Amino acid sequence: MPKPPLRDNPHSRPTTGSGARAKSKPLQINELLARHGLGSERQNQVLSSEEQWYARWQAIAPPPLRPAVVRIVDRRGSLVFYVSSASWASRLRLELPTWWPTLIAHQSPAPSGWRIQIQPTAASTGERA
């Protein structure tokens, strides 16, 4: 059975031309990110910040602890250390307080604290489904 023809509804929103999209709905994810200040410039700043923290950690950490940390992220003024296993997490919890003052020296603003999270190797390499 065929559908009945569409009626003009006086209460519906008028469109701004044929096939035009509303300005409130982004067509691409880049538009959405740009609206919230999370464009590629911001992503580059975040990545460079992560790389700087990781490089600083690799420079000051003792050789046995270097492979423990997979990644370091600055979240809301505190550093999050991602480690590959629970055993590394417990070891880092014991040894990080001795290296913390050296890690945050000459940083402005200095992170207020730190947190350790476990990130399995599969998650960090993207192999996990």
Outline where 64-125 has alpha helix (H).
86-104, 121-125
pLDDT for 21 = 53
- What tens-digit pLDDT sequence spans the chain (129 residues)? 888 887 777 776 655 555 555 556 656 777 777 776 666 665 566 567 788 888 888 888 888 888 888 888 888 888 899 998 888 899 989 988 888 888 888 777 778 888 998 987 655 555 554
Residue span of the structural domain in which 72 resides: 29-125
Task: For residue 116, give the CATH number of its domain.
Answer: 3.30.300
Q: Tell me how many domains the chain contains.
A: 1
Residue 13 domain-assigned? no
CA dihedral for 63, 67, 73, 79, sign (positive or negative): negative
Residue 102 domain-assigned? yes
Collect contacts of 91-95 with beta carbons under 8 A, ≥24 apart: 91/65, 92/65, 92/68, 92/116, 95/62, 95/65
Residue 60 domain-assigned? yes
